Amino acid sequence: MINKIRGLLTQWYELNKRTLPWRDSGDAYRIWLSEIILQQTRVEQGTPYYLAFTNRFKTITELADASEDEILKLWQGLGYYSRARNLHAAAKQIKNEFGGKFPTSYESIIQLKGVGPYTAAAISSIAFNEAKAVVDGNVIRVISRLFGIEEAVNNAQVQKQIQTLADELLDHAKPGMFNQAMMEFGALYCTPKNPNCAECVLSTFCIAKKNNLVAVVPFKEKKLKRRSRFFHFIVFENEGKTFLQQRGEKDVWQGLFQFPLIETESDFELDSDMINQNLNAEIQVNKAVKVKKHVLSHQDLWGRFYHVSGEMQNVSNYKLVSINELHTFALPRLIDRYLETEPFNA
C-alpha cells in the first residue's frame, strides 16, 4: 500500500505541479528564500517578494552585506518582520561561518537563524537530495486523512506517528521531489475545506474518505486558557442552622450545594458592609479564612470563607439547614476540605 501511494503521488505531481520560480532551480539560496517568505504567506502573495529579493540580491553574500533597512523595506507588507531579520542574520552566518556557501546538510542548515525542522528538511531534501521527510500543515492533513488518524494532531505522540508515516512514505531516491509532491497534493487537492476527493488518485486508499471522516480529520485539541475565579462563601450560623444554596447549570459543580456565594473578579477580602450589600443581609463577619486554591481542568478556584452571625433573608434559592445534617448534602470538595479543617462547633 505504501509503495502504491508513493507511486500514485509521484505520477500525480508530475502532471499537476504548479510552475513556481524557485521550483526545479535546485539552488539552496533560492529554495531557502522561498521557504522563509512562504512561512505564513500564500504563494500568490509571496511570489512578487521572492522575485524582488532575487533581483536585488543575486547571491547570499549580497544579501548579507545589505543594510537591515533595505531588507525591511523590501519585506514591507509581508508581515512577521522577524522573518526578515532572521533572513538577514542567517545570510551573515552563511557568509561568516560557511564562506558564503549555503550549508549542505540538514544538521548544518538547522543551525541557521530562523530555520526549524520543517525548513531544514525542505532545503536539504530539495537542494541536496537528503532523505528527510517534511511535515508541514499540508503533509499533516494528507497523512492524517489517508491513514484515518482520529486523534488530535497537536498531541506529541500523534506528531511522532505522523513523522514516522511521512518517513515511511518518503521516496529515498528522490526525496526532494517527493516532499514537494506531498505538499503540493495537500495544497491543491487534499485541501482543508472541500478536498477534491472525487478526482483524488488516492481515494481508494483513504481511510478518512472510507469512514466519512474527511470533514473532521485532522483536528486539534483546543488549549483552553486557564481562568482564575475568586469565590467568597458566607458561612452563616444561627441556633445550629446555616444557609446552603444549590448551584445551577452550565458552570462548575452543577447541582452541588454550597454556602451563599459572592464571586469577585480579583482576590481581596470582603468586609461586613460588602457582604450585606450583596446579599441584602445584616450580618457581622466574625472570622474570615482563606483556603488554598482548588484546581479544576480549566479553572483555578480561590475560596475564602466568612463566618457570620446576624440576620440573613431566607431567599428562595437558599435552604436553611441544620448544621448536623450538612454531611447529607453533596458539597464541592473545596467546601468539604474547608469543613474538615474548620468544623462548625470547634
Show contacts of 91-98: CB within 8 Å, 24+ apart: 91/60, 91/61, 91/63, 91/64, 92/64, 94/60, 94/64, 95/60, 95/61, 95/64, 95/65, 96/64
CA 227 to CA 231: how far, in whole Å?
A: 13
35, 44, 150, 221: which one is catalytic? 35
Answer yes or no whether residue 218 interacts with ligand SF4 by CB under 6 A. no
Each residue 122-151 as x (binds ligand SF4 by CB under 6 A) or -, in order, gives: -----------------------xx-----
Residue 79 and residue 45 in contact, taking contact as beta carbons nearer than 8 Å: no
Q: Is 197 in the site for ligand SF4 (CB under 6 A)?
A: yes
| H or E element in which residue 186 lies | helix 175-188
- For ligand SF4, give the closer residue by CB, 173 or 198: 198
Q: Using the rule CB under 6 A, is 206 a contact of ligand SF4?
A: yes
Q: Is 266 left (phi over 0), alpha (psi -120 to 50) or beta?
A: beta
**Closest separation between CB of residue 13 and ligand SF4, Å?**
14
> Which residue among 10, 203, 238, 264 contacts ligand SF4 (CB under 6 A)?
203
Spatial CB neighbours of 124, under 8 Å, sequence gap ≥ 6: 104, 105, 106, 109, 130, 132
Using the contact rule CB under 6 A, the part of the chain among 105-113, 194-202, 239-247, 272-280 near ligand SF4 is 194-202
Is residue 244 near ligand SF4 by the rule CB under 6 A?
Answer: no
Listed ranges 11-19, 127-135, 192-200, 337-345: which one lies at the site for ligand SF4 (CB under 6 A): 192-200
Our answer to whether residue 44 is catalytic in this structure is no
- Asked if residues 301 and 258 have their Cβ atoms less than 8 Å apart, the reply is no
- Among candidates 232, 252, 238, which has minimal Cα distance to 306? 232
162 in contact with ligand SF4 (CB under 6 A): no
Query: Strand 261-264 relative to strand 227-236: parallel, antiparallel, unpaired?
Result: antiparallel
* Ranges within 18-37 binding ligand SF4 (CB under 6 A): none
Strands, sheet with 257-258, edge to edge from the N-terminal-most edge strand: 257-258, 241-246, 318-322
With CB under 6 A as the rule, give the number of residues binding ligand SF4: 14
Q: Which region among 61-69, 127-135, 203-211, 263-271 touches ligand SF4 (by CB under 6 A)?
A: 203-211
Interaction between residue 200 and ligand SF4 (CB under 6 A): yes
Which is nearer to ligand SF4, 209 or 304 (by Cβ)?
209
110, 120 contact by CB (below 8 A): yes
Q: Which stretch binds ligand SF4 (CB under 6 A): 108-116, 198-206, 294-302, 337-345?
A: 198-206
Position among 190, 279, 326, 335 found at the interface with ligand SF4 (CB under 6 A): 190
Q: Which of 123, 134, 214, 244 binds ligand SF4 (CB under 6 A)?
A: 214
User: In the complex with ligand SF4, which residue's Cβ is closer, 94 or 133?
Assistant: 133
Q: Which stretch binds ligand SF4 (CB under 6 A): 8-16, 187-195, 243-251, 329-337?
A: 187-195
For cell 537591515, name the residue. Answer: 68
> What residue type is 6 in one-letter code?
R
| Closest by CA position to 286, among listed 333, 334, 229, 342 | 342
281, HSE (Cβ side, Cα atoms, 13 Å): 27
Residue 63: CB partners within 8 Å, gap ≥ 6?
A: 53, 57, 71, 87, 88, 91
**C-alpha grid cell for residue 129?**
537530495
Contact between 57 and ligand SF4 (CB under 6 A)? no
Nearer to ligand SF4, 181 or 283 (CB): 181
Asked if residue 175 lies in contact with residue 131, where contact means CB atoms within 8 angstroms, the answer is yes
- Comparing CB distances to ligand SF4, the nearer of 3 and 345 is 3
Nearer to ligand SF4, 198 or 224 (CB): 198
Closer residue to ligand SF4 in complex, CB, 37/200: 200
Catalytic residues: 35
Binding site for ligand SF4 (CB under 6 A): 145-146, 189-190, 195-197, 200, 202-203, 206, 208-209, 214
